[in-house]
């Protein structure tokens, strides 16, 4: 960790998803515990850095598509992550400078960095809320969110690589249903979630054992479980696919394999 943007009281002795993901992406905002956890997970899933990059590229393609093709100019990005290149508002505002983005994360370190770095174009708006995805009522009722997003107009809800931190599938389904339920027709859900569907059984057993031992906090979902999040929505593009296959500009034979990527992505429209 190289700069002074560390909130007081932050427990740096425990690995946190935002900082571990930053480590995998080659960023500089992580501590020893995050690196140790990142290295441990990488030993069992050697392509994890590729997974992180592919997931990030999916987020950017999804935002680009929603802004450029679907005319979306409002985004609610929950599980923001530490700011890196081409964050949601940068991709959206390059297409429409008036785009508005509300970022939400539960890591105080993301909060400090996001408030400093996720700054809007003059024509658009961004804000950051320190909140937990598991509290959709608080997120939707936040006065800052209401000031920035018009919930009578379509919004893209971004839940990219964050749902797998909610262990209980039913709880995750309810959270998504609550958030999507609050958005008007013409809104979108873009999401991704870790999966073991393509992982060889022995390696999958190790991954599950690591979760049971508290060494991993990313909960895999099958294709069917991931599809539950899109219940009642119309999937666009290729549907539910490994993130590297979602409207990828890379020819099919040259993309990473589903086993390497191990994370599903999809985008759905609320009818
Ligand atoms: C793997 S990063 C993904 C960042 C970004 N969405 C992306 O895909 O590039 C996961 C982010 O979700 C946040 N997160 C994890 N659990 C959360 C929760 N229950 N509520 C809000 N944010 C959460 C972490 O702090 C981290 O910033």
In 15-46, which positions are buried (b, 16+ CB within 10 angstroms) versus exposed (e)?
bbbbbbbbbbbebebbbebbeebbeebbeebe
Q: Phi and psi at residue 92, in whole multiples of 5°?
A: -70, -40
Q: Is residue 4 part of a domain?
A: no
Q: Which domain holds residue 204?
A: 17-269
Query: Which of helix, strand or coil describes residue 54?
Result: helix
Q: How many residues does the chain have?
A: 271
Ligand 1, pocket-test mutation among 81, 113, 118, 218, most atoms within 8 A of CB = 81
- Measured in Å, residue 82 CA sits from the centre of ligand 1 at 9
Looking at residue 207, its pLDDT comes to 94
Could you count the other beta carbons within 10 Å of the beta carbon of residue 94? 15
Q: Is residue 158 part of a domain?
A: yes
Are 107 and 133 a contacting pair, CB within 8 Å?
Answer: no
The whole-angstrom separation of Cα 84 and Cα 143 is 27
Looking at residue 8, its pLDDT comes to 75
Q: Which residues of the chain have pLDDT under 50?
A: 2-3
Does any ligand 1 atom lie closer than 6 A to the CB of residue 149? no
The whole-angstrom separation of Cα 159 and Cα 79 is 7
Find, among 154, 135, 139, the residue nearest to 67 by Cα: 154
Measured between alpha carbons, how far apart are the two ends of the chain, in Å? 45
Looking at residue 9, its pLDDT comes to 72
Q: Is residue 11 part of a domain?
A: no
Looking at residue 2, its pLDDT comes to 46
Q: Is residue 30 part of a domain?
A: yes
Q: Is residue 9 part of a domain?
A: no
- Measured in Å, residue 134 CA sits from the centre of ligand 1 at 12
Ligand 1, pocket-test mutation among 29, 105, 140, 265, most atoms within 8 A of CB = 105
The whole-angstrom separation of Cα 220 and Cα 199 is 11
Are 110 and 82 a contacting pair, CB within 8 Å?
Answer: yes
The whole-angstrom separation of Cα 93 and Cα 50 is 27
- Measured in Å, residue 148 CA sits from the centre of ligand 1 at 21
DSSP code at position 183: S
Q: Is residue 200 part of a domain?
A: yes
Q: Is residue 204 part of a domain?
A: yes
The whole-angstrom separation of Cα 40 and Cα 168 is 24
Q: Give me 262's structure tokens.
A: 């191990």
- Measured in Å, residue 161 CA sits from the centre of ligand 1 at 6
CATH at 149: 3.40.50.150
Number of helices (H) and strands (E), helices first, in the chain? 11, 8
Looking at residue 5, its pLDDT comes to 64
State the total domains in the chain. Answer: 1
Q: Is residue 3 part of a domain?
A: no
Looking at residue 145, its pLDDT comes to 98
- Measured in Å, residue 129 CA sits from the centre of ligand 1 at 13
Q: What is the pLDDT of residues 183-192, one digit of tens each?
A: 999 999 999 9
Does any ligand 1 atom lie closer than 6 A to the CB of residue 44? no
Q: Phi and psi at residue 42, in whole multiples of 5°?
A: -65, -30
Could you count the other beta carbons within 10 Å of the beta carbon of residue 203? 14
């Amino acid at each position: 960790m190289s700069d002074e943007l560390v909130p007081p009281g932050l427990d740096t002795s425990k690995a946190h998803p935002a900082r571990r993901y930053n480590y995998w992406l080659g960023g500089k905002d992580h501590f020893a515990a995050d690196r140790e956890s990142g290295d441990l997970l990488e030993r069992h899933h050697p392509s994890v850095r590729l997974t992180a990059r592919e997931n990030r590229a999916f987020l950017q393609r999804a935002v680009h598509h929603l802004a450029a093709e679907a005319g979306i100019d409002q985004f609610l990005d929950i599980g923001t992550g530490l700011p890196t290149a081409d964050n949601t508002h940068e991709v959206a505002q390059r297409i429409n400078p008036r785009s508005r983005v509300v970022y939400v994360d539960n890591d105080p370190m993301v909060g400090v960095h996001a408030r400093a770095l996720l700054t809007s174009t003059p024509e658009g708006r961004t804000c950051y809320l320190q909140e937990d995805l598991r509290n959709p009522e608080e997120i939707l009722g936040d006065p800052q969110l209401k000031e920035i997003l018009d919930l009578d107009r379509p919004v893209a809800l971004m839940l990219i690589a964050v749902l797998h931190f909610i262990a209980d599938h039913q709880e995750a389904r309810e959270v998504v249903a609550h958030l999507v339920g609050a958005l008007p027709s013409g809104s979108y859900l873009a999401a991704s979630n870790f999966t073991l569907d393509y992982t060889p059984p022995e390696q999958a057993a190790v991954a599950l054992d690591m979760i049971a031992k508290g060494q991993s906090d990313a909960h895999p979902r099958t294709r069917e479980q991931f599809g539950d999040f899109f219940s009642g929505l119309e999937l666009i593009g290729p549907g539910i696919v490994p993130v590297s296959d979602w409207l990828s500009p890379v020819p099919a034979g040259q993309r990473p394999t589903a086993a390497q990527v191990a994370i599903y992505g999809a985008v759905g429209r609320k009818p």
